[in-house]
Amino acid sequence: MYEITFYFEDGTETIEVAPDEFVLDAAERAGLELPHSCRNGMCTSCAGELLAGDLDGGGTALTPDQEADGYVLLCCSSPRADCEIRVGERVQNELLGLDAL
């Protein structure tokens, strides 16, 4: 099991995630409400920013530049190490460039 710490705009929450489990599924099992939609990597609703650690997976909705900037899709990513992930509306707005408006 790996520890995943989520950084919300108003605090943090740490959960355990199995190596073969998607981060979003584990978060829901733990009672966390994270944004999501398609659940198969085709949209960016479940995007987070990986601050530390390593995730396996990805999805097709992120561009190479977004991946290089640390964005991940939690619906189709599994941990390979303990991780720290920033989540929330601000992350989504940054990813989509809405924070510059």
Q: Classify residue 36: in a domain, yes or no.
A: yes
Q: Domain holding 75: CATH number?
A: 3.10.20.30
Q: Which two tokens stand for residue 58?
A: 């990805």
Q: Classify residue 76: in a domain, yes or no.
A: yes
Beta-bridged to residue 2, according to DSSP, are: 17
Q: Classify residue 101: in a domain, yes or no.
A: no
Mean pLDDT, the chain, as a whole number?
91
Domain count, the chain: 1
| CA 65, 7, 32, 54 torsion-angle sign | positive
Contact 79, 31 (CB under 8 A): no
Cα 81 to Cα 52: distance, rounded to the nearest angstrom: 9
Residue of 78 and 38 predicted with greater confidence: 78
| Domain boundaries, position 24 | 16-96
Tell me the per-residue pLDDT of 32-72, one tens digit each, with 9 for 90 and over.
999 888 888 888 889 999 999 999 976 678 999 999 999 99
The answer to pTM > 0.75 is: yes
